[in-house]
Structure 1
Amino acid sequence: MTGFADVSVVMPAFNNADTVGRALASIAAQTLRPMEVIVVDDGSTDETAQAVRAMAGRMNGIRLRLFRQPNQGAGAARNRAVAAAQSTWLAFLDADDEWLSPKIERSMAVLAAGDLVMCSHNLFNVGPESEVLNDSRARWLRNPADPYRSLFLRGFISSSTVVVRRDAVLAVGGFDVDLRSAQDYELWLAVLAQAGGRFETFADPLLRYTLAPEGITSRIGRKVACSLAILRRHMGILRHLPGPVLGLVVLRTIIIHYEAVMGHKARGEWSAALGQGVLLPLRLAEMLVRLPFSTGKRPDFIARLGPAAEESL
């Protein structure tokens, strides 16, 4: 298929001068091209903006737009692009990842066939010396009739695989910029809470996802803190949906701490692993106390955006 789809691509970038051109080239090579790509340079200190400008005129007819803002994090950068987007659908691609050429064409076909609000797909994890299939669909298939609860327990959606209706993202307020990690996981939960079963993860591996170097130990603590904050919010949403609640809240709390324990053990940090185990019963008690009072209310983060200038390319 040739031509254009009613899609805006959202690309946050921070110090991605070495990779953003490759990511943009993978968009230009799509068999069904998006209407526009919106790159938000989030306070880069390298030549990311220059690398984006160098791609102007090389996008195979796709409109290339560039915003620059002080560093506020990937969530704020994505919100900026979502607010500026002019298409019905949004596709997300990080500036160090690459799409395979049928990504947009296959995604739009899946969305149309199922009258869906959102879709994602499988991917390849790309390391320095290997490229391994990540079968996220297998995790979703455990309960495809209830994707919200499947995602509530364990994240299986990579942002660079997502195509979603822009109005669905606006309706829930965009990315939570106050979360230092897992902003994308939390947003997809919010979208699926409203979309119900109008979501699918399909099997085609259409993304080459660049594995980041292993994070420092403190990031485990940050991940736990953000995961618990998301749990406190979304158990309120879960309360207002049909189906079980208490068991899922307990299981999600256990999963958060189990993953932290295993992360610390992998680094040989036995005291930190023990500490997470000791905290588990306290956190379980906290969640059980909070559960009856949790509302699930979610602020409108896109409404917080200040003005920003778009560069002319």
Structure 2
Amino acid sequence: MTSSSNELVSVIIPSYNRASYIDAAIKSALDQTYGPVEVIVVDDGSTDGSYEKLQQWEERGKLVLLTHPERRNRGQSASINLGIQQAAGSYIAILDSDDMFAKEKLADQVAFLEANPETGMVYGQGHAVDADGNFLFKVPGDGHQELSDPNRLLLDCYMALPGGSLVRRSVFEKAGLFEESFRAGQDHDMAIRIMEATKCAYLPKLAFYYRKHDDAISVKGLERRWLTGLEILRRANERYPYTRSTIRKRKAVLQFRLGQTYWRERRKAKALPHLVSSGLLDPTRALKVLIGREQV
């Protein structure tokens, strides 16, 4: 699928202490087969030399470099929001500073959205890679289908965001921006609100490379992630008519993950109430876990 569109795409890259990876991320956005593209990098108060690298890119006219007042660290959500607010494009793509776009990502996804005006967001497959770029696994796996059902997304959190997606700017105007009070799970929260606001589609083509390494945000702060998940669930339940089954099963998952986190930290007294709560909320799944029919 190729695009004859000349609509501007704004690529937003939030960056914090990614000196080892930021050049590759920027290059992947600049090397797209689609144009026109503007690249906006928001530095979130980096102290590892990556800000100086970004200044060099800006001096060469390759990107727009933004910072928060006094170069303060305000978190990934605030950085993405600043980029979106300054973007001029009709389409918004977000790229984590340690990930990389596939070369045809924007061309494929712009063409899809141009051909499907009722769709507000499209996303593709990601290839997880290690710190050295070696392939690990696919996200989502082959055969994945998108039903554009918020219930399914709230429950399973399966979507490869943000790097895999392309979103119409108008969708953010309807769904709102990233929640700046969240320092974990903000990508899931945003994906849910987008799907509540518009039709979403999956294009089964490679869209980006998702880097898995020890310093990744997603492997830090598990307690905070699951507690934030409970707040995301509470807000979702107030905002949209999810089924009672979806709310109950998602709460069971989050209670289990919290209990599992505490248990692995040897905080067993704190873990047990969450594990019991999870079993009561979804006894069928709990039984499958106990007898080994489902891996966790």
Would the TM-score normalized by the shorter structure come out above 0.5? yes
Q: Equivalent residue for 2:137?
A: 133
Match 1:181 to one of 177, 180, 184: 184
Greater alpha carbon shift after TM alignment, 209-218 vs 106-115? 209-218
Q: Is the 8 A contact 1:15 1:47 kept in 2?
A: yes
Q: Equivalent residue for 2:67?
A: 68
AA aligned to 2:244 is: L
CA offset at residue 279 of structure 1? 4.3
Name the SS of the counterpart of 2:237 in structure 1: helix
Q: Deviations over 1:26-48 (max 9, x none)?
A: 11111113421111111111222
Q: Equivalent residue for 2:293?
A: none
Q: Equivalent residue for 1:122?
A: 125
Q: Deviations over 1:188-235 (max 9, x none)?
A: 21111111xx21122212211111317899822211210000100101
Q: Equivalent residue for 1:298?
A: none
Greater alpha carbon shift after TM alignment, 151-160 vs 47-56? 47-56
Name the SS of the counterpart of 1:178 in structure 2: coil
CA RMSD of aligned residues (A): 2.8
CA offset at residue 268 of structure 1? 6.9
CA offset at residue 5 of structure 1? 4.2
Change over 3 Å in CA distance of 1:139–1:178 after alignment to 2? farther
AA aligned to 1:44 is: S
Change over 3 Å in CA distance of 1:217–1:93 after alignment to 2? closer
Name the SS of the counterpart of 1:33 in structure 2: coil
Name the SS of the counterpart of 1:235 in structure 2: helix
Q: Is the 8 A contact 2:226 2:254 kept in 1?
A: yes
CA offset at residue 100 of structure 1? 1.3
Q: Is the 8 A contact 1:10 1:92 kept in 2?
A: yes
Q: Is the 8 A contact 1:8 1:89 kept in 2?
A: yes
Counterpart mapping for 1:270-289 below 5 A: 271=268, 273-280=271-278
Name the SS of the counterpart of 1:199 in structure 2: strand
- 2:214 pairs with 1:213: yes
Q: Unmatched 5+ residue regions in structure 2?
A: 283-296
Greater alpha carbon shift after TM alignment, 122-131 vs 34-43? 122-131
Q: Equivalent residue for 2:12?
A: 10
**How many residues are treated as equivalent by the alignment?**
272
| TM-score in terms of structure 2 length | 0.82
Q: Is the 8 A contact 2:184 2:228 kept in 1?
A: yes
Off by >6 Å, runs of 4+ in structure 1: 214-218, 281-284
AA aligned to 1:73 is: G
Q: Equivalent residue for 1:296?
A: none
Sequence identity of aligned pairs in percent? 24
Higher relative contact order at CA 8 Å, sep ≥6: structure 1 or structure 2?
1
| TM-score in terms of structure 1 length | 0.77
CA offset at residue 109 of structure 1? 1.8
Name the SS of the counterpart of 2:126 in structure 1: strand
CA offset at residue 72 of structure 1? 0.4
CA offset at residue 253 of structure 1? 0.7
Q: Equivalent residue for 1:101?
A: 103
Q: Equivalent residue for 1:160?
A: 163
